Amino acid sequence: MKLLIRLVRLMTIVRVFIRHGLDELLFNIPYLSPVSFIYKMLPWNWGKKETRSRGERIRLALEDLGPIFIKLGQMLSTRRDLLADDLADELKLLQDRVPPFPGEEARALIETAFKKPVTEIFKQFETKPMASASVAQVHAATLWSGEDVVIKVLRPGIEKTIRQDIELMYIMARLLQRYWKEGKRLRPVDVVREYEKNIIDELDMQREAANASQLGRNFEDSDDLYIPKIHWEYTKPNMMVMERIRGIPVGNIDELIAHNINFKRLGERGVEIFFTQVFRHNFFHADMHPGNIFVDPGNPEEPRYLAVDFGIVGTLSPDDQRYLAENFHAFFNRDYKRVAELHVESGWVPSATRVDEFESAIRSVCEPIFQQPISQISFGNLLLRLFQTARRFNMEVQPQLVLLQKTLLNIEGLGRQLYPDLDLWTTAKPFIQRWMDEQVGVRALLKGAQYNLPKLLENIPYMPNLVFDVIKQTSQQQTKMYQESQQLNQLQQQMARNQRSTIVTVAGGALLITATLTTDSPLLPAMMGMSLLSWGFGVSGLALLVSGLVRR
């Protein structure tokens, strides 16, 4: 049954591509162009004339294929250095203009969740959605208290579609991992598993509300970023209600210009927010495409960001965070040897890798990008070259870092839109330096003391008993060690005595055997002088044998 479902979904994908004329793009690839006449002879191409642009066709196909493909388009829409302008402009529409589902369905979902009419829950509810995204859509409403809010409602049946697409992704990933020579290193199954976890988490509105609350606490006293307040009493697994914010979409450059926004400061704050989330809070918004970011124009010289959509957040393990920070720190200081060493220490490259060779390869990739504005730096091209270098040194993909890499690409795309001359390195370096100081410097010592002080104060009343217990345990341990030492000495002495007894017994036995042999010899009776010698051996041997047995 599952196989049938997968085949049906695969056929659906092919049918969508054909319907939107994307099969034609395949034969524009130079290697396949010689056989393009076969494509033109297919029945569905007879008399066919495509009037839509390729960007529009790709966008519509991604919309028809569902949330996973839409999210791919959202990410690509920020990569104008990788895409042609017409493609980037079309994919940008996926950020917040995904075709909505009927507002009446959203109303019915809300009423089912609360088991009462929507008019009893909200003073006002707008059936027409404010925005529609891949997983959910947003409706405006007013509480009976008079506060304006927004309601985020999951698309009906979305989980089933997502799980079907994930199954197809697993099939392709397993085939790649098994038959592609780069499969083992790139770990596509692990990457799909990490993506599955994140997108399934996005289907739980209560989890998203908790993410928003945590981010709000992290930036509670900050002028850089504002997170809307969550109304928990109205939040359910398939819907979330939060404070309504009003700002300018960060992608609306013309309106930002009209409000005299300081783009340089806005770009710097975007970078600062990213590094603050990653290295100070270790809890970062991992879906920061322009459709989820707004700007508060209240103070144009110090503009503040407003964020929405908290379904995907990321964290790092302490080890990954430390290795990443040290990599950035070494990178900003052009210490490529340390970068190479960290990759080996972290296990990201095989332990047998020659550090000097890896250092040289990293230098050749990274050195050209320093002291350049962001307009002249392409992380896409940089990552492509790093990918080629990684392949040479068998560096494995780290699935736990995929979200961070995606967020960094979003930040770069945002920076390009806002302030192309932003110096990313100058803006980011102080954050990395501060993090390093907090981990290994004087700040680390003070932070450790601050963290452990409450525990120390809590245990001060018990210190006398603890000290007495330690002294008592030490004394008991010393007594036990002394007793064991005495027993060991006695054992050694007994072993020495046994050894001496064994030697005496063996000697006695040897003399007795000698006496016996000399006495029984047929030649010896004629040699009377030797008779006395044999009796002497016998008596001496008997005495030694008895002595040895007695000692035992």
pLDDT score of 457 more than 80 = no
pLDDT band at 45 (very low <50, low <70, confident <90, very high): low
pLDDT band at 225 (very low <50, low <70, confident <90, very high): very high
pLDDT score of 524 more than 50 = no
- Can you give the pTM of this predicted structure? 0.66
More confident residue, 78 or 349: 349
Dihedral of the alpha carbons of 214, 287, 383, 56, in degrees to the nearest 10: 180
- Only one residue has tokens 């998203």, namely 208
Give residue limits of the domains in the chain: 2-92, 251-440, 489-551
Q: Which residues of 236-265 are buried (b: 16+ CB within 10 A; e: fewer)?
A: bebbbbbbbbebbbbbeeeebeeeebbbeb
Judge whether 329 and 436 are in contact, CB under 8 Å. Answer: yes
Rounded CA separation 242/475 (Å): 63
Q: How far is CA 193 from the centre of its chain?
A: 12
Which residues on adjacent β-strands are paired with residue 249?
294
Q: Average pLDDT, stretch 251-264?
A: 92
The pLDDT > 70 percentage for the chain reads: 65
Q: Average pLDDT, stretch 394-403?
A: 66
Residue 520 confidence (pLDDT): 47
The DSSP code sequence of 347-364 is: TSS-TT--HHHHHHHHHH
More confident residue, 347 or 535: 347
331 token code pair: 């990178």
Residue 166 confidence (pLDDT): 82
pLDDT band at 473 (very low <50, low <70, confident <90, very high): confident
326 token code pair: 């040290």
Rounded CA separation 537/542 (Å): 8
Q: Which residues contact 122 (CB under 8 A, 6 or more apart)?
A: 141, 142, 143, 144, 149
HSE of 544, CA atoms in CB hemisphere, 13 A: 20
Q: Average pLDDT, stretch 329-350?
A: 82
Residue 198 confidence (pLDDT): 76
Strand pairing report for 293-296 and 136-142? unpaired
**Count of beta carbons in the 10 Å neighbourhood of residue 201:** 14
Which of 96, 71, 76, 99 has its CA nearest to residue 88? 76
Rounded CA separation 531/365 (Å): 101
pLDDT score of 114 more than 70 = yes
**Count of beta carbons in the 10 Å neighbourhood of residue 524:** 16
Average pLDDT, the chain: 76
pLDDT score of 383 more than 90 = no
Q: Which residues contact 445 (CB under 8 A, 6 or more apart)?
A: none
Q: Average pLDDT, stretch 489-498?
A: 68
Rounded CA separation 378/450 (Å): 42
Q: Residues, the chain, total?
A: 552
More confident residue, 189 or 84: 189
Is 130 strand, coil or helix? coil
pLDDT band at 25 (very low <50, low <70, confident <90, very high): low
Q: How far is CA 19 from CA 43, 50, 69, 90, in A?
A: 13, 11, 16, 18
pLDDT score of 254 more than 80 = yes
Rounded CA separation 174/180 (Å): 10
- Residue range 204-223, pLDDT digits in tens: 999 999 999 999 999 998 99
**Count of beta carbons in the 10 Å neighbourhood of residue 539:** 13
- Residues with catalytic function: 287
Rounded CA separation 210/146 (Å): 24
Rounded CA separation 402/338 (Å): 23
Rounded CA separation 312/207 (Å): 10
pLDDT score of 105 more than 90 = yes
